[in-house]
Structure formats: structure tokens, C-alpha cells
Amino acid sequence: MGNPVNLVEIWRNDLLECVHQGHAVVCDEAGEIVHAWGDPSAVIFPRSSCKMIQALPLLESGAGAHLTTEQLALSCASHQGAKIHTDRVSAWLKDLGYTDDDFRCGPQTPNDKEAREDLIRADEQPCQMHNNCSGKHSGFLTLNKHIKGHADYEKVDHPVQMMGKAAFEETTQETSPTYGIDGCSAPNHACTVHGLARSMAFFASAKETGDLRAQAAVKLRNAMMTYPELVAGETRACTDLMRAMDHKVAIKTGAEGVFVAIIPSLKMGVALKIADGATRASESAITAILVKLGVLDAKHPAAIARMSPEMHNWRGIHVGFTRPSAALL
């Protein structure tokens, strides 16, 4: 991952204490680079930022024709495991005639405080529905039932994952050089930062009057924008910033400092990767880019909280701040 540039700075008093470097690309509908920082050809794992790509076969195949907009949002989600998430996943499983045991994502302690404390009070263990990827896996199960695939749908050579890889390579317009196994056990295919931005630009420019894939992309991006609380959850950057942009832009985080944005009004896609994987930096950088592109008000409280948050110590004393680098601004 050569030639990253400074994207986010951490200041304590008047001394630059830490710098987060990385790569970022903004693409237009033709896949051409409009803005770039660092190396657009840097190869990365998109992690959960590409869930909307993985959900394309769900709709293209016809398997998801009956799904609600809420379910489509969940299929793109990295959720908190809150009740609003697990109740909907549970109902989805029931509709499929499946149980939690049919998942292959693994149990995960919910990040939602109330859900976590409810489990403790009940002396219960988290299940796979609490996994932040259970919505994506519900989509996998729906597609797998439709194609009558074998139970281990998460395997890289399973038809469900092969369909996902095809959608990934076709929308990024790249042949993926490798893959890794994600936290939820599904394969995650590598691409360049430019390729990921190119895919997001496809989602941004897709039209309801387009072909089957374009129609699927429109439904997925609209679902994310309509239900940002299902895509992530309360206090999360994805949810807060999509609300701040009046539900007109879809954004999605990924582990290890990845973030993407789909901007239909501009027909542009954004992808960024923080080299050291820091979430605080990816949130600051994506916010700065959204402000730069004119789709997010820099004075909105959600923008301030993510782009340039102040640091306070345990006594509440102001000790420093985060800010995007001069290059990014």
C-alpha cells in the first residue's frame, strides 16, 4: 500500500501528536477520477463497505423480489445488534423457515448497550442474529434458498459467493487479485481504492429505468438512505451522517479504516482507506470529503462531531482536537 498521504491530524495543545495517512478517490459516473489523495491503485480489502455490492445478486436473481425496503437496508448493514435489528432479522429467518443455526456468521456480543445489558440480566449468551452482519447473511440465506444451494453458503466456491464475486469484479471493473475471510466468515475480495470508488459511482448513477443490475442498485442505495438506523445504529457515523445529509447520500463504513459514499445527486462515488486502520480517521476523512463535495453542511453537529471533534480528558478539560489535513481540505 505505497505512497499514502496525510489525511487526518491529531493535535494536543499546539503540538501535532499523531498523523493518520491513507488513500481516497472520488469517481464520476464514467469511473474517471475527479479527486484523489494518495495512491488510487492501492489494493485493499473493502471489508463491510461493499455489502451493497454483495447484495446485488439477491435482487438480480429475483430471490429478493418480495423483500421490504427495511430488509434491503439490513442486507447492506453492519448493525449494532439492537432490538430494531435483531427483531427484523428474526422475522426474516422465520419467513424463510430457518433458525439462528442456519447462519454461518457466528455469534457476536451486541454493540448496542441496551441489548448487551438485556443479555446479561437474562443470563443469556449472544446468538448469530446479534452479529453485525446478520442482515447480510439473511440476504445470503434468501438467495441460497432460491438457488437451492448447499447449507455452507459462506464458502468461497459456493454459488452464492461466486455470484457476489462476479458482481464485485464487474462493478469495480477489476479482476480481484486475492480474497480474505471476513469476521463473519464470508469471503472479502480485494480491489483498488479506485475500483471501489468506481463501483460506488455505479450505484450513484444507476437509474430505475436501467437494466436489472441498475434497478437493483437503485433499490439498495435508496434502502440505505431511507433507513440509516438499520444500516448501523444510534450514535454511529453512518446513521448520523446519512440523517445529516437529509437521507440523500448513502455511506458505509468497513473495518480497518475503510469508508465509501454513494452520491446520487452528483452521480459520484467515494472510497477511502486509512493505512493504519483507525476508525476515528476514516470518519473524519469521509466527513471532510462529503463537506468538500457540498453534500454535507460543515456546521451540522454530526459533521463537527466526526470531522473535527475536540478531545477532553477524564476531568472534562479540553486537551486537543482532530482535524482533516490541509491536503484533504
Query: How many structural domains comprise the chain?
Result: 1
With respect to residue 319, please indicate whether it lies within any of the assigned structural domains.
Answer: yes
Euclidean distance between CA atoms 118 and 113, whole angstroms: 9
Q: Is residue 329 part of a domain?
A: no
Which residue spans within the chain are E strands per DSSP?
A: 5-12, 15-27, 33-37, 43-44, 179-181, 187-189, 191-192, 250-254, 258-263, 268-274, 310-312, 318-324
Q: Which residues contact 200 (CB under 8 A, 6 or more apart)?
A: 27, 260, 261, 262, 269, 270, 271
Give the domain range for residue 112.
5-324
pLDDT in tens, the chain (329 residues): 679 999 999 999 999 999 999 999 999 999 999 999 999 999 999 999 999 999 999 999 999 999 999 999 999 999 999 999 999 999 999 999 999 999 999 999 999 999 999 999 999 999 999 999 999 999 999 999 999 999 999 999 999 999 999 999 999 999 999 999 999 999 999 999 999 999 999 999 999 999 999 999 999 999 999 999 999 999 999 999 999 999 999 999 999 999 999 999 999 999 999 999 999 999 999 999 999 999 999 999 999 999 999 999 999 999 999 999 999 98
Contact 198, 27 (CB under 8 A): yes
Which residues lie below 8 Å from residue 265, measured CB to CB, with a gap of 6+? 248, 249, 295
pLDDT computed for residue 269 by the predictor: 98
pLDDT value of position 123: 97
pLDDT score at 256:
98
* Cell reading at 308: 473535527
- Report pLDDT for 2: 74
Phi, psi at residue 80, to the nearest 5°? -85, -10
Residue 198 falls inside a structural domain:
yes
CATH number at residue 140: 3.40.710
76-135 pLDDT, tens digit each = 999 999 999 999 999 999 999 999 999 999 999 999 999 999 999 999 999 999 999 999
pLDDT given for residue 1 in this prediction: 62
In a domain, 46, yes or no: yes
Handedness of CA 82, 88, 94, 98 (dihedral sign): negative
Is 174 a domain residue? Answer: yes
What's residue 20's pLDDT? 98
Secondary-structure percent of the chain, ordered helix, strand, coil, rounded to 5 = 40, 20, 40
pTM: 0.97
